[in-house]
Every structure is written in C-alpha cells, then in structure tokens.
C-alpha cells in the first residue's frame, strides 16, 4: 500500500541567510562562503572540531543535517539523497592548483580527500551514526520529480525509515542548499509540487 510521505522539516542555506521551516534563523554579511559557513556553525553552538577540516561543500551539507536532524528523534536508518550541479569542482580546483607546477608539486591530502561530492554524506553519516543508503546525483538544476520518486522508493521498499534529501551546491564563492527530511510524519505532503514550491521560496 502506498502510504503518504511527508516533508517533516526543511531548510535552506544561501545568500547569507539560513531558514528552517520557512523562518529565518540566521543571517550575516560575510563576504565569502568560508566565513559565512563558519558563522552558521558558530550560531548552531555545535562542538565538532572536524567541521573545520571539511571542504565547503561538506560543511554546507553538514550544517543542513545539523539543522534538520538536531531536534528530531532520528533513525539510524535515515537515507541520504543529495544532488547538485558543480559536483566537487570547488575543491577540485584547489587540488589542481596544488599540482599545476611540477617544481612546486605538493598536493594536500586534506584537500584531495574531498575531491568527490559524496564525501559530505560520509561526514553526516559519521556525525549522526547513520548506516544507511546514500546517493549523490549531478543535475543541471534541482530535479524535484527525480528526488520525489527516489525518496519515496527508498521508504516504500523499506530501504529507509526516513530520507534526508535535497540540493547542496558550492561553486565560485557561492553556496546554495535546500535540504529536507522525508518521513511518514509531518503536515506537508511529500509531493513534487510542494518540493518545487519550498525550493523556490
């Protein structure tokens, strides 16, 4: 039977503003993504020193998860389904810069480990002790129909109790995240229309 799924909670992090369930919970005037993400981290009063070792994409995903999984009675069977259009390009460029000059060839292991977009999901899984399904897709733009189908399938096929999903993108000193938690609890029905509406808000 096709039980209804709901968007239990949602957040967005972009344009120097953080919103949770439609309400602004933080904003500042940082000039760059790195400073902004650090300011968001400080505002959440989270103690997790490894945050500072992450690349910006992982930090962004991590902060979204902190917002959505912090107060929830989270299940260790929360799947992760993310997408973006820049993959890990922001960090790929940093790595490329470190290997451009053969006479000054010192690639940083700490940078190199983040040259995949799905590393942030690993960071979230470690932080929240998730041992669940995860997938990261590259699309030109947020694909609500694809996400809707994939997220529903995971729950319907008993692959997950809930799904933390959405768009998380960092490129050219800009960040954009729209993440949400899908489960069988909540008031906003998990539909393509609602996903598009919340993403565009």
Partner 1 sequence: MENLKLELKAKIIENLNLEDVEVSDIANDDALFGDGLGLDSIDALELIVMLDKDYGIKLSDPKQGKSIFESIDSMAAYISENKTK
Q: How far is CA 153 from CA 101, 147, 182, in A?
A: 47, 10, 11
We find the least distance from the C-beta atom of residue 182 to partner 1, in angstroms, to be 33
Residue 52 is a binding residue for partner 1 (CB under 8 A): yes
Residue 108 is a binding residue for partner 1 (CB under 8 A): yes
Residue 49 is a binding residue for partner 1 (CB under 8 A): yes
Stretch that binds partner 1, among 58-66, 81-89, 101-109, 115-123 (CB under 8 A): 101-109
Residue 99 is a binding residue for partner 1 (CB under 8 A): no
Cβ contact 161:75 at 8 Å: yes
Mutual orientation of helices 56-69 and 89-99 as an angle, nearest 10°?
A: 150
Cβ contact 200:90 at 8 Å: no
Residue 106 is a binding residue for partner 1 (CB under 8 A): yes
Stretch that binds partner 1, among 22-30, 61-69, 105-113, 142-150 (CB under 8 A): 105-113
Dist. CA 161–CA 156, nearest whole Å: 9
H/E element, 103: none
Closer to partner 1 at the Cβ: 113 or 192?
Answer: 113
Q: Which residues of this protein are in contact with partner 1, per CB under 8 A?
A: 49, 51-53, 106-110, 113
């Amino acid at each position: 039977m096709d039980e209804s799924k709901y968007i239990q909670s949602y957040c967005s992090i972009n344009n120097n503003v953080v919103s949770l369930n439609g309400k602004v919970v933080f904003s500042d005037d940082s000039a760059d993504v790195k400073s902004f993400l650090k300011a968001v981290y400080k505002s959440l009063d989270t103690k997790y020193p490894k945050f500072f070792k992450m690349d910006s994409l992982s930090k962004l995903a991590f902060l979204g998860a902190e917002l959505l999984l912090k107060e929830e009675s989270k299940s260790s069977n929360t799947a992760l389904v993310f997408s973006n259009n820049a993959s890990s390009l922001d960090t790929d460029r940093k790595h490329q810069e470190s290997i451009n000059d053969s006479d000054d060839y010192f690639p940083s292991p700490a940078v190199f480990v983040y040259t995949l977009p799905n590393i942030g999901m690993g960071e979230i899984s470690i932080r929240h002790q998730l041992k669940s399904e995860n997938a990261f897709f590259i699309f030109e733009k947020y694909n609500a129909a694809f996400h809707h189908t994939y997220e529903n399938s995971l729950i319907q096929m008993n692959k997950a109790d809930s799904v933390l999903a959405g768009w998380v993108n960092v490129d050219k000193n800009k960040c954009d995240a729209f993440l949400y938690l899908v489960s069988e609890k909540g008031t906003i029905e998990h539909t393509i229309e609602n996903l598009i509406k919340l993403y565009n808000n």
